[in-house]
A and B are shown apart, each in its own frame.
Chain A
Amino acid sequence: MDTVAAFFKWLKAAHGINLTIGYDAFDRARFLGGLLATVELSALCILFSVAIGLAGVWLQGARNKWLRGAVYWYIQFFRNTPPLVQLYFFYFAVGGVLPRIDGGPPIGNFAWAVITLSFFAGAFNVEIFRSGIEAVPRTMGEAAEALGLTRAKIFFLILLPLVFRICLPALNNNLVNLVKTTTLAYAIAVPELLYVAAQIWSDENNVREMMNVLLVTYVAIVGVLVHAMSRWERAMRLPGFGQ
């Protein structure tokens, strides 16, 4: 660890490249904390948005017209409005009028970021799952019905495993987008990667260095994710299905 710190100190002395996260323990802890927050935020949002997508597509198949209409307008509203304004709406407007519990807001900024981004990505996931269900031949569901399976069993045992494999590419695309969208949490002061980087560059006055570190870090995170996902996609591809 000392040699690493020595290297970064030399970098600053010799070339004026001031990477405090390399030699300053406090800044490094902050930066790694931000990285962890970004990963946590992403993981939670992915989990909830997939759950919302499944719930939405389930409700879309409901017999009740109003339920279907509600899901449709949920999707359209979240798809066609800016995610940043959604975040402000939930955090400042909805969070602002909620009654306070023990003097503090009942839902913190991290939780609001998870809620908003999950609903935002979830709206896209509903459509992705629906297109996947449409791609499964109808006869598959009919055959299952003929075998006496209930609607829930048809959905979870027959359709979902197929749908999942069919819409994995589109789903991955959306989830990668979601990871990029977690940067918006900066706007409501969630201490994720962008936020801590901004803190570091205002404390240490090394905007150029931190900006480059930030850009490279995000491109690396997303690049690794894209690579892993596309490998997974290839492994899960249904032979003879699609183009």
Chain B
Amino acid sequence: MSRPPSPRPFPVLLPVRPPAAIAARWGDCRTATILALASAPLLLMGEALAAPGEAGIVATLWKWTPVMASGFVLNLWISVLAMAIGTASGAVLGLMQVSLLAPVRGGSWLVTQFFRNAPWLVLLFYCILLMPFEIRLGGVVIPLPAWIKAVVGLALPVMANVAEVVRGAIQSIPTGQWDGAKALGLTRLQTMGLVILPQCLKRMLPPWMNVYAILTMATPLVSIVGVQEAMNLTRAALNAESRPDLLIPMYLYLLVWFFLYCFPIARATLWLERRYGVAG
């Protein structure tokens, strides 16, 4: 009995996809499965090694999962907020770098370089230690808890990196586009808004996602300045258990959480880069 041909959609209507990307994705899935299968005996061995009267390693990890998840949600929340603030301010800073006014251009360049060259942790310390714990606006007192200060501290380097992404994308548009817009009688503002920026969006997306992934991986830094996020809660859980055999599984477990969140972003970035044909 011959198998009926699988119902494939008409190929002409599909967007062209580089075959390498598909192959790489399948390779990933297969290797991931093999890795998962290979780690199963290790886990079982861990169970067997757990001293009598103690809960198994998997059971303990499972017990602390809700606590770690609550911390991880704060990590993600901090990353989203910092990204939003950093993107908004970075876009302005990036546009200022292509301004026609030399002082604006120079000033924004200096700000960008400063925040790009400063280590993330130092900027974080700066914000945590030197920002007030509350601000008074008229009669209203706005409290600033540590995690909000941390968001600002992380948003500063994000701002500088996004500014570079925006500037790079604008400058990568061929000058012919500017000339063409001028010939059509568009003002500089119209040229930017109607011609240049729409073309930039596509080019900016992959590096912007890259900045987001780097930011997400920087969020555990806020544990150093005392915010109760996933890293701190994991250490608290380890202190509560005080079992040396849990050290490696617990830290690995946390690493896996971040990996499962950041790896798909990295793959999607790569895929978009290939699709849009802009390297790096």
Contact = CB atoms under 8 A, between A and B. Distances in A.
A84 B255 CA distance: 10
A77 B117 contact: no
Contact of B117 (A72, A79, A218): A218
Contacts, number: 111
Given A94-B248, A183-B121, A81 B259 contact: yes
Looking at chain B's contact residues, the main secondary structure is: helix
B1 interface: no
Contacts of B213: 80
Interface stretch (A6-14, A28-36, A156-164, A219-227): A219-227
Contacts of B235: 88
B244 interface: yes
B221 interface: yes
Interface string A67-88: 0010011001101111111101
B129 A207 contact: yes
Looking at chain A's contact residues, the main secondary structure is: helix
Contacts of B118: 180, 215, 218-219, 222
Contact of B259 (A77, A211, A214): A77
A211 B117 contact: no
Nearest to B249: A93
User: Which residue among A79, A93, A182, A218 has the maximum number of chain B CB atoms within 10 Å of its CB?
Assistant: A93
Interface residues of A, number: 40
Nearest to B114: A219
User: Which residue among B35, B122, B129, B263 has the maximum number of chain A CB atoms within 10 Å of its CB?
Assistant: B122
B168 to A, nearest CB: 12
Interface string B98-126: 00000000000000011001111111011
A214 B130 contact: no
Give the 10 A-B residue pairs with the shortest CB-CB distance, closest first.
Answer: A222-B117, A93-B247, A89-B251, A80-B262, A180-B119, A82-B217, A183-B121, A183-B119, A93-B248, A93-B251
Given A94-B248, A223-B117, 20 more contacts: A73-B35, A80-B263, A81-B255, A81-B258, A81-B259, A84-B221, A85-B220, A85-B258, A88-B235, A89-B248, A89-B251, A93-B252, A96-B247, A181-B119, A194-B125, A198-B125, A214-B122, A215-B122, A218-B122, A222-B119
Interface of B: 31, 35, 113-114, 117-123, 125-126, 129-130, 213, 216-221, 223-224, 231, 235, 244-245, 247-248, 250-252, 254-255, 258-259, 262-263, 266, 280
